[in-house]
Amino acid sequence: MKEKLVMVGNGMAGVRTLEELLKLAPNAYDITVFGAEPYGNYNRIMLSPVLAGEKTIDDIMLNDEQWYVDNGITLKKGQEIVDIDRVNRKVIAADGSEQSYDRLLLATGSNPFMIPVPGNDLKGVISFRDIHDVDQMLAASKEHKHAVVIGGGLLGLEAANGLMQQGMSVTVVHLMDSLMERQLDKPAAAMLKRSLEERGLHFLMQAQTEAIIGDTRVEKVRFKDGTEIYADLVVMAVGIRPNTELAKKSGIHCERGVVVNDTLQTFDPRIYAVGECVQHRGIAYGLVAPLFEMGKVCANHLAKIGIGRYEGSMTSTKLKVTGIDLFSAGDFTGDENTEELVFQDAAQGVYRKLVVQENRIKGAVMYGDTIDGAWYFDLMRDETDISDFRNNILFGQAHLGDSGHGDDNRVAQMADSAEICGCNGVCKGDIVQAIGDKKLFTLEDVRAHTKASSSCGSCTGLVESLLAHTVGGDYSVAPHLKPMCGCTERSHDEVRVTIKDQELKSIRAVMDFLEWKTPDGCSKCRPALNYYLVCAWPQEGLDDYQSRFINERAHANIQNDGTYSVIPRMWGGGTSPKELRAIADVAEEYKVKTVHVTGGQRIALYGLKKEELPRIWKRLSDAGMVSGHAYGKALRTVKTCVGKEWCRFGTQDSTHLGIELEKMTWGSWTPHKFKMAASGCPRNCAEATIKDLGVVCVDSGYEIHVGGNGGVKVRATDLLCNVSSEEEVLEYTAAFMQLYREEAHYLERTAPWIERVGLTYVKERIVEDVDARKTLAERFLHSQKFAQVDPWKERAEGVDEHEFVPLKKVS
Amino acid sequence: MQHVEKLDMAQDWIEVGKLADIPRLGARVVNSPLGDIAVFRTASDEVFALRDKCPHKGGPLSQGIVHGKRVACPLHDWKIHLDSGEAVAPDEGCAASFPVKLDGDTVLLSLAASDGCPNK
Ligand code: SRM
Ligand SMILES: Cc1cc2nc3c(=O)[nH]c(=O)nc-3n(C[C@H](O)[C@H](O)[C@H](O)COP(=O)(O)OP(=O)(O)OC[C@H]3O[C@@H](n4cnc5c(N)ncnc54)[C@H](O)[C@@H]3O)c2cc1C
Ligand code: SF4
Ligand code: FES
């Protein structure tokens, strides 16, 4: 017989836990759910837009009653559990009925706090927590005029805004002298107050409520200083208290909330708890993102998989008032050990503050333009050392040395028709609608449903902003480390370390050792694992071609019509009549539709059939050419200018240097593509300062620049160091490439990698630590011994023949 | 599986090659009068056949990465169920599937495409 799982509290955290459980172990339990509210599970967050008239109750249902039926769950809605008999393992409902359990899940949420003043039980005095409250507010707004909201925090302001949208005249009463004092500092709060006042809200600051006055229905609110104001409706939004009543009564250890450990178990190991009712490591959370993280871990243990621990979350907040962009995370007040970085442009209504300690972000407050909120949040979570870009950090990620697409920033003000994702043509309106209609909470969800941000990724910040703006916080938060993909909980770094430490030498071995959740991974993790293995064990020939993206498997670039392109290497951008003749011959013979001079100083042939590739490669190979790896996460091109040999300004032989660099590095597999250039003087005709590694020749020698990118987001390089000989350039390059190869995440280009680990770190390893540089360079050259095999020549001679010929031709 | 029954009634099984000709977690193409058909082999040596045309924008599914009973299209990474040819939700669309079976280590294919797919 199946075990019985009973859940008390049919809210967002609990049901999310069940969803996660059903994904992992659909048939593990007979599940019964008790919910005091007479509905399925709805998106409580969206009560604010419902109140503001932007959504309806139907829009915000997450799991309707059919969902419970479809999943074999018994839903007892409108039934409150009043007691738990832990000895006999059963729960008792208000109507006296009983239900036994093997495991019990408490998800009772929290209760709004009603300030204990006379009159707080009068008709028309309510809280803002559930559908019932919203119904009452909407009804009041039809018959009455004056609303008073007590509490100038997130919830209070959203309530006030909603009531104002419904036509009421609203006064917000706040005890402190500054709004949202737990999320905002004074300047940001002042800007917020000003714009809310412009919209028509009234504020009474530093006002302490003394009594609520009325016969049966509220009529007035009186304050300590004796003033009184009219009120037909009073909404109390002064805070919430974890709902521990049931747990306490049945003897489960509670403090402020129900105390749980890292596996979300209460003091009684058969009883789990998740959500706002919980206190974990001293913290009770009041936002959805951490609750969902809890749900995930809890489900894992209920499913008896037993891996994963909840280790706490960092949270960020947003105010869901249409047209107002506001972001806050972490410790934004600081103390004597912290510094503040502030940017303020009052005319534009923009304010940003970062609280920094020892060059690490501790907190952030932003008002007016919050596009970079997600970025600051990441930097904070990863504890990134910001010293290398601290001078520019307040201008935002888009301004780290670039032009980029980072201009049109204010998502709140954008029209619905504004295009957010240029690759897939997705507009703001599409995304906002999908978030609502399809109940999306994470960036991954939005990508899957709308395709926005799923291609080149340059609009990720905008999408995150929109998401936060629509659902009110950062939903992509993982407690500590981001998992590689849905197949595992492990991060890239953990996987890389384990491969080395455990001497794992196949994708299968990695998946088995780290308990992959899928039988053979997915198109995200397999290529990554393959690369990590190839990089860790160069000598062993571990390359698993079936785990490579088609371009790297076929050694040519797949095109939109299923044909392929061929781009042979032209060392340092140079070529010869013999090579050109061979290319011309091939182009004629195979009726090549397009011959194109690429952006990387070489020639590309387009529209080739896969079957023809080995024969074409043979022709090019006979003329002495090798693969240009234009298809690979690999060394691509080394652009050069003519340099000292011809140019009147040339200081060194940049062409020769470029060719030497390319000869040393070609064939190397890298986490993402790797491009180089060498310019003969600071005029920099080879555009060395937007390459992964660029050399600018100067009279005294060579400047080595790293971490540039000319792609999606232009980033100019950082200067690594100056050296005086070609030999040194080669050694530093080998060392730099190897450091990148060994430590970057798969598909992380040098630019974001350097922004993540910091230039200072790279300098320490490559410039300051001579031994480290030499051993890195040695490891690079060692691995090149096995990598520098021309894949085209091999295939022209018959390797992987099956890849290029059909299995059969049937006529 | 549903289509297995159906295909036993089909007469015209065509021998297209040996199981070993198809890489594990890979695919090979059969050129046919109906267009290209991709024949997939999973980790557990099951075989499936789909029209080699992604329901999204026609990408050649045979060139994708096979995982579990799915293939990721090489062009824009839609995932397609190998058994039904349906795109994995939330994407929508379907590539026609063809009956295919093993006789010992010989792969047999029938050109009678399954019903129900608009993009046959
Ligand atoms: C062929 C070429 C365009 C051309 O005809 O000139 C090209 C073609 C493609 N580029 Fe590029 N890029 C080409 C030079 C560039 C350059 C210019 C350069 O290298 O100096 C850039 C900007 C510089 C840079 O990378 O920093 C460039 C930035 C990109 C990006 C953005 C990378 C980024 O980190 O932001 C992508 C997307 C990606 O890699 O994820 C991309 C991706 C692509 C892909 C591979 C898209 C794809 O996955 O199919 C295109 C392959 C077409 C094909 O079959 O060859 N291509 N691409 C150029 C080949 C150069 C070569 O000889 O190898
Ligand atoms: C208006 C509003 C706006 C918000 N905006 C945001 C936002 O923008 N971003 C954000 O992250 N969070 C926001 N929140 C907070 C978020 O909604 C909560 O953190 C989340 O809903 C808590 O989930 P939960 O499952 O713990 O509790 P709940 O969703 O409250 O669910 C608990 C359920 O248990 C039921 N219950 C309690 N006791 C019993 C019992 N004994 N027997 C049976 N049933 C019982 C309750 O009736 C309730 O339905 C907002 C909240 C409100 C009210
Ligand atoms: S070649 Fe590069 S820029 Fe041109 S369409 Fe393809 S990816 Fe975009
Ligand atoms: S063509 Fe297959 S995903 Fe676009």
Q: What are the tokens at B105?
A: 């280590």
Whether A808 maps to a domain, the answer reads no
Give residue ranges with CB within 6 A of ligand 4.
B 54, 56-59, 73, 75-78
User: Mutation test of the interface with chain B: which of A431, A524, A550, choosing the one with the most B Cβ atoms within 10 A?
Assistant: A550
Q: Which two tokens stand for residue A270?
A: 């058969």
Partners of B83 in the β-ladder: none
Rounded Cα distance, A354 and A349, in Å: 17
State residue A594 phi and psi, 5-degree precision: -130, 130
When the pLDDT of each residue in chain B is averaged and rounded to a whole number, the result is 88
Asked if residue B11 has pLDDT above 60, the reply is no
Residue A297 neighbours by CB distance under 10 Å: 23
- Distance from the B2 Cα atom to the nearest Cα atom in chain A, whole angstroms: 23
Instruction: Give the per-residue SS3 of A749-795.
Output: CHHHHHHHHCHHHHHHHHHHCHHHHHHHHHHHHHHHHHHCCCHHHHH
Burial annotation A788-802 (CB, 10 A radius, 16+ → b, else e): eebbbbbbbeeeeee
**Residue with more model confidence, A334 or B117:** A334
Query: Do the domain assignments include residue A485?
Result: no
| One domain for residues A368 and A282 | no
Q: What is the largest CA-CA distance in chain A?
A: 101
Residue B26 Cα to ligand 1 middle (Å): 27
Domains along chain B with CATH numbers: 14-109 (2.102.10.10)
CA A325-A290-A151 angle, 5° bins = 50
Substitution candidate for ligand 1 out of A551, A557, A633 with most atoms within 8 A of CB: A557
For residue A250, give the ligand nearest its CA: 2
Under an 8 Å CB criterion, which residues of B touch A? 14, 16-17, 21-26, 28-33, 36, 39, 43, 57-60, 63-68, 72, 74-77, 79, 90-91, 107, 111
Contacts (Cβ under 8 Å, ≥6 apart) of A786: A538, A539, A541
Check residue A398 and give its pLDDT. Answer: 65
Per the CB < 8 Å rule, is A523 touching B90?
no
CA distance A81 to chain B (A): 37
A486 in a domain, yes or no?
A: no
Give pLDDT, residue A412: 66
pTM of the model: 0.72
Instruction: Identify whether residues A463 and A558 lie together within a single domain.
Output: no
β-strand A693-698 against B26-32: which pairing, if any? unpaired
Please tell me which residue of chain B has the smallest CA distance to A801: B21
Is A793 inside any structural domain?
no
CA distance A706 to A715: 10
The dihedrals phi and psi of B76, each to the nearest 5 degrees, come to -135, 20
Structural domain range at position A673: 635-787
Q: Could you tell me the two tokens for A453? A: 């941000």
Which protein residue has the closest C-alpha to ligand 2 atom 9? A472
**A422 closest CA partner among A459, A397, A448, A447:** A459
* Residue from A7, A19, A45, A62 to probe ligand 2 pocket by mutation (most atoms less than 8 Å from CB): A45
A535 and A574: one domain? no
Which ipTM did the prediction report?
0.77
* CA of A803 relative to ligand 4 center, distance in Å: 20
A-chain residues within 8 Å CB-CB of B74? 549-550, 558
Assign A588 to helix, strand or coil.
helix
In ligand 4, the atom with minimum distance to the C-alpha of B61 is 2
Ligand nearest to the CA of B75: 4
Nearest chain A Cα distance for residue B38, angstroms = 9
If asked whether residues A265 and A322 sit together in one domain, one would say no
Q: Which of A604, A627, A650 is the last residue of a domain?
A: A627
pLDDT at A284: 92
Those residues with Cβ within 8 angstroms of residue A192's Cβ, 6 or more apart along the chain or in another chain: A179, A180, A184, A319, A324, A326, A367
- In this structure, what are the phi and psi dihedrals at residue A801, rounded to the nearest 5 degrees? -55, -35
DSSP A184-197: --HHHHHHHHHHHH
Q: Do B64 and A523 touch (CB under 8 A)?
A: yes
Cβ–Cβ below 8 Å for A523 and B17: no
Residue A616 belongs to domain with CATH number: 3.90.480.10
- Tokens 């050129």 identify what position? B31
Query: Do A661 and A744 lie in a common domain?
Result: yes
How far is the C-alpha of A702 from the C-alpha of B64, rounded, in Å?
44
The CA–CA distances, whole Å, from A783 to A727, A788, A794, B5, B116 equal 19, 9, 19, 52, 51
Residue A700, CB-side half-sphere exposure with 13 Å CA sphere = 5
Whether A594 is in a domain gets the answer yes
| A560/B23 Cβ within 8 A | no
Question: Does residue A461 share a domain with residue A364?
Answer: yes
Pairing between strand B97-98 and A718-723?
A: unpaired
Residue type, A267: F
Residues A644 and A771 in one domain: yes
Give B53 Cα–ligand 4 centroid separation in angstroms: 9
- For a mutational test of ligand 2's pocket, the pick from A6, A8, A12, i.e. the residue with the most ligand atoms closer than 8 A to its C-beta, is A12
pLDDT interval class at B120 (50, 70, 90): very low
Q: Let me know whether A515 and A643 are in one domain.
A: no
Residue B6 has pLDDT above 60, yes or no: no
Domain CATH number, residue A174 = 3.50.50.60
Instruction: Find out whether A262 and A248 touch, Cβ atoms under 8 Å.
Output: no
Q: What is the DSSP string of A481-510?
A: S--SSTT-S--HHHHHHHHHHTT--SHHHH
Q: A544-573: b or e for each residue (b if 16 or more CB lie within 10 Å)?
A: bebbbbbbbbbbbbbeeebbbbbbbbbbbb
Whether omega before B90 lies within 30 degrees of 0, making that bond cis, reads: yes
- Give the pLDDT confidence score for residue A420 in this predicted structure: 80
Most informative mutation of B76, B79, B80, B86 for ligand 4 (most atoms within 8 A of CB) = B76
Residue A523: list chain B partners with CB under 8 A.
64-65, 67, 72, 77, 79
Distance CA A395, CA A706 (A): 22
d(CA A515, CA A199): 54
CB contact under 8 A, A808 and B76: no
Q: Is A44 in the pocket of ligand 2 (CB under 6 A)?
A: yes
Q: Mind telling me how many Å the CA of B120 is from chain A's nearest CA?
A: 18
> CB of A14 within 8 A of CB of A107?
yes
- B106 min Cα distance to partner chain A (Å): 12
In whole angstroms, give the CA distance from residue A214 to residue A230.
Answer: 10
pLDDT for the residue numbered A478: 43
B70 to chain A: closest CA residue:
A522
Q: Using the beta-carbon criterion (under 8 Å), do B59 and A448 form an inter-chain contact?
A: no
- Judge whether A309 and A366 are in contact, CB under 8 Å: no
Provide the residue type at A619 as one letter.
R
Say whether both A604 and A738 belong to one domain. Answer: no
Regarding whether A99 and A248 lie in a shared domain, the answer is yes
User: Is residue A483 a part of any domain in this protein?
Assistant: no
Contacts (Cβ under 8 Å, ≥6 apart) of A347: none
Helix, strand, coil: what percent of chain A each, to 5?
A: 35, 25, 40
Between helix A726-743 and helix A770-787 the angle, nearest 10°, is: 80
Asked, for residue A63, whether it belongs to a domain, the answer is yes
Q: Is the dihedral of CA A496, A502, A503, A507 positive or negative?
A: negative
Give the A window 350-389 contacts with B, CB below 8 Å: none
The count of structural domains within chain A is 6
Answer whether A367's CB lies under 8 Å from A191's CB.
Answer: yes
User: Best interface-test mutation with B: which of A423, A488, A520 has the largest number of B CBs within 10 A?
Assistant: A520
User: Which residues in chain B are contacts of A561 at CB distance < 8 A?
Assistant: 58
- Tell whether A48 and A62 lie within a shared domain: yes
Residues of chain A with pLDDT under 70: 398-413, 457-458, 472-481
In this structure, is residue A199 part of a structural domain?
Answer: yes
A298 CB contacts (<8 Å, ≥6 apart)?
A17, A20, A105, A263, A264, A272, A274, A310
Element (H, E) at A419: strand A419-421
Residues A578 and A697 placed together within one structural domain of the fold: no
| pLDDT score of A29 | 97
CA–centroid distance, residue A710 to ligand 4 (Å): 27
A539 touches chain B (CB under 8 A): no
Q: Is the CB of A472 under 6 A from ligand 2?
A: yes
User: Chain B closest CA to A520's CA: distance in Å?
Assistant: 6
**Do A496 and A534 contact (CB within 8 A), yes or no?**
no
